[in-house]
Amino acid sequence: MNIKKNKFEFEFKQKVYIASILIAFALILFGILSESSGILGNLILISILILIIPHFYFRYQRFRELREMEERFPDFIRDLVDVLASGLPLHEAIKNVSKINYGALSKEIKKMARQLSWGVNINKVLDGFAERVKENKRLASAIKIIKEANFSGGELIPTLESLAEDSVLLKESEKQRKAMMHQYLLLMYGISFIFIAIIVAMNYLLVPLFQTSAAFAEMGLSDPCSVCSGLGCEICSFYSFITTLILRREEIQSYYLGMFFLISMLQSFFAGMVAGYIVEKSFLNGIKHGLILLVITWAIFLVLGQIRVI
């Protein structure tokens, strides 16, 4: 049953990856046929997201599953202690508690119970469990402690009780830290939106200055791309292309608009990454918030470009 489920999950992932590649290819082809650099640029960005998001989603889903296992692990340990107190050995206690529902942790406990019923050594079973959840260091370390306590023949029940108490204390302290850091996450989102507003205001105020008399050129407010050479022209061309991503025609402010757009995208992504990592202590969670802010920033500039605010 478990083999069939794993095969189904693998085939499902393969289908999702193939579908995302086909959709991305179709979008890029449509962009090429549209003969619009703005539409093509946006569809290329959408295609990149379509290719990245499925892989990120499956990784993040696994991360959440391991987190749920970690949260339910103290319950499993306490139930294990109750059964061990009745005089049963560890391998029998695991088979006994495998009937209890522990959410995402249940499938691993049932897998251990099946292996033990087939006569597999308890240490080998625990090693296999630790290997399958090695992405979660706390969970893997706790399993190794159980293995060592059982192998040494010492006081297993006090060790498990202490392990359960430590796990609960760690989770409580982590919840308190998350509650405090959640305010920081909201602050980073707010700062990103304020940054976008400042960038939009700067672009909105600078454009009229570019279109006034040459007297402002003495103040350094002229178009940098009006006279360029070598690398300077390459930079101007790059920012001009960036401007087409928000469906704007090339204008005198293309240099600054492209630069502001790129700065806003980078600021949003890395601000989201830092905030997400600080809250969850997870690189995947950082990427999640980075992508969310990146898409929001992109959408804001796209809408503002369409309604000619920028």
Q: Which of 119, 154, 189 is the last residue of a domain?
A: 154
Q: Angle at CA 99, nearest 5°, toward 97 and 101?
A: 95
Question: Do 149 and 185 have their domain in common?
Answer: no
Give domain status of residue 183, yes or no. Answer: yes
Mean pLDDT of 110-118: 92
Mean pLDDT of 142-150: 88
Q: How confident is the model at residue 154, as a pLDDT?
A: 65
Q: How confident is the model at residue 232 (pLDDT cuts 50, 70, 90)?
A: low
Question: Do 125 and 42 have their domain in common?
Answer: yes
> How far is Cα 112 from Cα 60, in angstroms, rounded to an integer?
25
Q: How confident is the model at residue 224 (pLDDT cuts 50, 70, 90)?
A: low
SS3 content of the chain, % helix, strand, coil (to 5): 85, 0, 15
Q: Which of 121, 154, 187 is the last residue of a domain?
A: 154
Structural domain including 98 reads 1-154
Name the residue with higher pLDDT: 249 or 157. 157
Beta carbons of 63 and 135 less than 8 angstroms apart: yes
Q: How confident is the model at residue 214 (pLDDT cuts 50, 70, 90)?
A: very low
Mean pLDDT of 287-296: 90
Q: Which of 154, 185, 220 is the last residue of a domain?
A: 154
Give domain status of residue 165, yes or no. Answer: no
**89: alpha, beta or left, given left = phi > 0 and alpha = psi -120 to 50?**
beta
Question: Do 150 and 4 have their domain in common?
Answer: yes
Lowest-pLDDT range, 123-132, 163-172, 267-276? Answer: 163-172
Question: Do 220 and 254 have their domain in common?
Answer: yes
Q: How confident is the model at residue 245, as a pLDDT?
A: 66
Beta carbons of 146 and 126 less than 8 angstroms apart: yes
Give domain status of residue 168, yes or no. Answer: no
Question: Do 108 and 57 have their domain in common?
Answer: yes
Q: How confident is the model at residue 45, as a pLDDT?
A: 83
Question: Do 2 and 143 have their domain in common?
Answer: yes
Lowest-pLDDT range, 253-257, 272-276, 290-294, 301-305? Answer: 253-257
The answer to whether the pTM exceeds 0.85 is no
Give domain status of residue 160, yes or no. Answer: no
pLDDT tens-digit readout, 58-83:
888 888 899 899 889 999 999 999 98
Question: Do 227 and 282 have their domain in common?
Answer: yes
Total tally of structural domains belonging to the chain: 2
Question: Do 105 and 10 have their domain in common?
Answer: yes
Burial class, 154, CB count within 10 angstroms (exposed 0-12 / middle 13-18 / buried 19+): exposed
Mean pLDDT of 28-37: 83
Mean pLDDT of 46-66: 88
Give domain status of residue 161, yes or no. Answer: no
- SS3 at position 270: helix
Q: How confident is the model at residue 213 (pLDDT cuts 50, 70, 90)?
A: very low
